[in-house]
Amino acid sequence: MYTEFLPTCRQELVDRGWYWYDFLVITGDAYVDHPSFGTAIISRVLEAEGYRVAVLAQPDWRKLESFTELGRPKLGVFLSGGNIDSMVAHYTVAKRRRSTDAYSPGNRMGLRPDRATIVYANKIREAFGDIPLIIGGLEASLRRFAHYDYWEDKVRRSILLDAQADLLVFGMGERATREIAARLAGRTPVGEITDVKGTCFLAKSPEQCAYPKVECPSFEQVSSDKKAYARATMVQYEEHDPIRGKAVLQRHGERVLVVNPPAMPLDTAELDAVAALPYTREPHPMYGKMGGVPAIEEVRFSVIHNRGCFGACNFCSLAFHQGRIVTSRSHESVLKEVEQLTSHPGFKGYIHDVGGPTANFRRPACQKQLKAGLCRNRACLAPEPCPNLDADHSDYLALLRKVRQVPGVKKVFIRSGVRFDYLLQDKSGEFFAELVKYHISGQLKVAPEHCVAGVLDCMGKPHIQAYERFREKYRRLNQRFGKEQYLVPYLMSSHPGCTLADAVHLAQWLNAEARQPQQVQDFYPTPGTLSTCMYSTGIDPRTMKPVFVPRQPHEKAMQRALMQWKRPEKRPLVLEALRLAGREDLIGYGKGCLLRPEKASGAGRRGEKKGSAPAPSREKRAGPPARKAGWAKPKSKPNTRRKRGR
């Protein structure tokens, strides 16, 4: 299981007897040699192809010598900002600076710059001049077109221009990386590598594109015209298909951004080969005295069995990065990894997750996808499941049964998220039963997100009735197996389409369910999502119709407060929101009321205003509604970090 790390400094190059090397891989994260980290995968893929690879993790962008310490690589540089967008890593949705960074040693903030991909790339140009420079990872992938930037509140041009890079690899980059590396090793000038699927480059004219193509509105148009931005977004989404997709061209001044069609997803054998590469599965030892790298704790004893997601939530970046075609690893590959984990000195018998972007997706949504690609202008699950949906959990169920039987494994959990509407389409019910019986660690996290149909339509989520059916079946299954296990629902405030009245309706729904979330996620407009397009333009790009967008911080604060209306510190905001929404009927002592009336000086009784009807006696007051079975009452704040690329 254990091997050696790739060189990270000149001394480690010398220890290997290397006085030159082929590729430098730079990352904005600490160096963690684990298959959950994109840098680890790309560097090991290159190593498996026979290249000498060095890793430069979180170089000091203020010092040029940090980039030259390892010397000039022979063939080129591959660069990633890290596992998540550096601006999301640094700032909350309120644009406040975060205090910690789980992808840095000791949870320290400030070890990488804002817009890490651009800053690092420009330093590489300063250090090595015209060396072939290829950028990739989530930050580059989602910023490949002209895009709305929430932190500057404007449309920025493609990151490829600001980074001064030769190529951009988008999506899961193994295929493109291998091909680019082989051509560079064969002495092909990087300027001539223009036909690799899953890459972008800058051209002088559209004729340099090697594939059938379609043009979307230019950077100049989308910067000044919101309708043009919405149209461009839909062109980009519709062509993001490895089977039927065309190249998308977008003009930036006198140059043309050429985004080639996406690369085909890796098949099962190829995924198995990537999983079998000799990862150490640990952070580099140099971080030991700094407190290690906290991000490893979430994944150290977890296994990723699939890629891709056809859930198509509009606020999620997965559809535009990994894509919507699901592929999965073989049982043998997953079992081999689990067996390796059981030999880890820190393993205590618990597999924390056998999942992925969505845990219970293990096959394409339908067989048609593999031949004709994804349907245009349709989603597989929302608002209603497609009649052609292949909701079969039998292979995933068989895999989980095998993992449970591995010697040394006491319990196998599923923590990376279950798509409940897809689960309900599996008529056998066998997987649902075993999920409840064997694979929940007290709480199951699912994502209804909201309860108002119009808001859910903007989100690309199923209507709340699907969640309520799921919740009821979950309750019955827990009763059958004698389990006391709860649901922790993810809910989102201030998504485009959500008015103050909708937020009040959500509070009423939560009140009726006897539920108040411990934490609330406010919508975060990250680059490259349909929801971010709605936020930026006030237009739903799927229909080109106007959509309400809550943008003002105070309005967003009221929406958040309504979801936690019982908290005393939230009362002024909730009171203001109810009055603005014309819902003073929810201020009182009735069963459905959210707030009790304000106390008035000179009131005859506690809680009684002058001139008001007497408050009911203590014995007759309606107490809090009984907690419904199946709702969680967490002992501590639930971990709400999502595996969505958000």
| pLDDT computed for residue 369 by the predictor | 87
| pLDDT computed for residue 577 by the predictor | 97
Task: Kindly state the tokens that stand for 193.
Answer: 């590598």
Q: What pTM value is reported for the model?
A: 0.90
Average pLDDT over residues 262-273: 96
The answer on 367 and 311 residing in a single domain is yes
pLDDT at 337 over 80: yes
Q: What CATH number does the domain containing 502 carry?
A: 3.30.750.200
Average pLDDT over residues 420-448: 94
| pLDDT computed for residue 600 by the predictor | 61
For residues 304 and 36, is the Cβ–Cβ distance under 8 A? Answer: yes
pLDDT band at 3 (very low <50, low <70, confident <90, very high): low
Residue 516 lies in a domain: yes
Domain that holds residue 577: 443-600+617-646
Residue 506 lies in a domain: yes
Q: Rounded to the nearest 10 degrees, how much is the dihedral formed by the CA atoms of 545, 551, 557, 558?
A: -40
For residues 365 and 380, is the Cβ–Cβ distance under 8 A? Answer: yes
Residue 491 lies in a domain: yes
pLDDT band at 638 (very low <50, low <70, confident <90, very high): very low
Q: Enumerate the β-bridge partners of residue 57.
A: 27
Burial of 212 (0-12, 13-18, 19+ CB in 10 A): exposed
Task: List pLDDT tens digits, range 183-210.
Answer: 999 999 999 999 999 999 999 999 999 9
pLDDT at 492 over 70: yes
The answer on 520 and 412 residing in a single domain is no
Average pLDDT over residues 49-64: 97
- Helix, strand or coil, per DSSP, at residue 202: strand
The answer on 134 and 71 residing in a single domain is yes
Task: List pLDDT tens digits, range 36-47.
Answer: 999 999 999 999
Q: Of 181, 199, 217, at which residue does a domain stop?
A: 199
| pLDDT computed for residue 603 by the predictor | 44
Residue 567 lies in a domain: yes
Residue 266 lies in a domain: no
| pLDDT computed for residue 642 by the predictor | 40
The answer on 454 and 345 residing in a single domain is no
The answer on 122 and 134 residing in a single domain is yes
Task: List pLDDT tens digits, range 297-322.
Answer: 989 999 999 999 999 899 998 888 88
The answer on 590 and 470 residing in a single domain is yes
Task: List pLDDT tens digits, range 566-612.
Answer: 999 999 999 999 999 999 999 999 989 999 998 765 444 444 444 33
3-state helix, strand, coil split of the chain in percent (to 5) is 35, 15, 50
For residues 279 and 335, is the Cβ–Cβ distance under 8 A? Answer: no
For residues 102 and 10, is the Cβ–Cβ distance under 8 A? Answer: no
For residues 55 and 85, is the Cβ–Cβ distance under 8 A? Answer: no
Angle at 543 between CA 542 and CA 548, to 5 degrees: 95
Average pLDDT, the chain: 91
Residue 286 lies in a domain: no
The answer on 35 and 78 residing in a single domain is yes
How many C-beta atoms lie closer than 10 Å to residue 288's C-beta?
Answer: 10
The answer on 374 and 362 residing in a single domain is yes
| Low-confidence winner among 175-184, 250-259, 517-526 (lowest mean pLDDT) | 517-526
Q: Enumerate the β-bridge partners of residue 213.
A: 247
Q: What CATH number does the domain containing 155 carry?
A: 3.40.50.280
The answer on 471 and 437 residing in a single domain is no
In sequence order, the 6+-apart residues with CB closer than 8 A to the CB of 510 are 491, 516, 517, 563
Q: Are strands 199-203 and 255-259 parallel, antiparallel or unpaired?
A: antiparallel
Q: What CATH number does the domain containing 375 carry?
A: 3.30.750.210
The answer on 160 and 121 residing in a single domain is yes
| pLDDT computed for residue 518 by the predictor | 78
Q: Of 163, 180, 199, at which residue does a domain stop?
A: 199
Average pLDDT over residues 274-283: 96
The answer on 431 and 402 residing in a single domain is yes
| pLDDT computed for residue 483 by the predictor | 94
The answer on 384 and 517 residing in a single domain is no
pLDDT at 220 over 50: yes
| pLDDT computed for residue 622 by the predictor | 36
Residue 249 lies in a domain: no
H/E stretch holding 300? none
Higher per-residue confidence, 638 vs 580: 580
Task: List pLDDT tens digits, range 87-142.
Answer: 999 999 999 999 999 999 999 999 999 999 999 999 999 999 999 999 999 999 99
How many C-beta atoms lie closer than 10 Å to residue 411's C-beta?
Answer: 14
Average pLDDT over residues 440-463: 95
Q: Of 406, 426, 441, at which residue does a domain stop?
A: 441
Q: Enumerate the β-bridge partners of residue 546.
A: 539
Task: List pLDDT tens digits, range 382-413.
Answer: 999 999 999 999 999 999 999 999 999 999 99
Domain count, the chain: 3
Angstrom distances, CA of residue 346 to CA of 1, 34, 192, 294, 354:
14, 16, 49, 15, 18
Residue 371 lies in a domain: yes
Task: Kindly state the tokens that stand for 399.
Answer: 């895999």
